[in-house]
Amino acid sequence: MKTYKTFMGEAYRHPQYYKTSKNTPLKKIADRYFKTGDKLYDVDWVRGEYHIMASVKDLERIKEHNWSRKHSRIGPQEYEKLYQDIKENGIKLPVQVFLYQYEGRAKLGEGNHRLAIAKELGIKKIPTVFVFWKGDKPKDEDIEYGSELDNMLAKKKFEKEMEDNDKEMEKLFKELGIKW
């Protein structure tokens, strides 16, 4: 564990990237991220790579939607098609769990239909990837050049400048007798 000193003399730990076993419990990864900011190395999830095999039971606790064969946003034909594909080939595209550090919250963001079908088929574990999200409330250490906050402030400043320019142009056009 690396610890650094700030110029104010307060110690802080720089978040680390790490690898883990495919059998690591979801809660262990979430707790470590919430506590330290440590993240798993990225994986190519589009090609089927995943971080862990999460238990259906754990994913059920954080699911976003309660989809089922009768209640689904994709419709009965698409649901049946996905059901048959998973039954024959297993789950090829991992589900995505979003970890929100600021809120200390985990959510199944993508894969609610796959989770419902896995449960229906009696599958116990599902390939899972994590999306690590620091949060929406900026802290001093989050503010840096090119940050979302800087972009938001720059946009507001630009909008104010444009509004001021419009007022000046309208005044000038009026003086010249040109309809604005």
pLDDT computed for residue 144 by the predictor:
40
Instruction: Please report, for the chain, the start and end positions of each structural domain, with discontinuous segments joined by +.
Output: 21-137, 145-176
Q: What is the CATH number assigned to the segment(s) 21-137?
A: 3.90.1530
Query: Residues 121-160: pLDDT tens digits?
Result: 999 999 999 999 876 554 444 434 344 555 555 566 666 7
pLDDT tens-place string over residues 28-85: 999 999 998 899 998 988 888 999 999 999 999 999 888 887 888 888 899 999 999 9
DSSP letters for the chain: --EEE-TTS-EEE---EE---TT--HHHHHHHHHHH--EEPP--GGGT--SEEEEHHHHHHHBS----SSS-TT-HHHHHHHHHHHHHH---SPEEEEEETTTTEEEEEE-HHHHHHHHHHT--EEEEEEEEE--SS--GGG--TT-HHHHHHHHHHHHHHHHHHHHHHHHHHHHHT---
pLDDT for residue 1: 44
Q: Is the pLDDT of residue 9 over 60?
A: no
- What's the whole-number mean pLDDT along residues 85-110? 91
Q: Is pLDDT above 50 for 180? A: yes
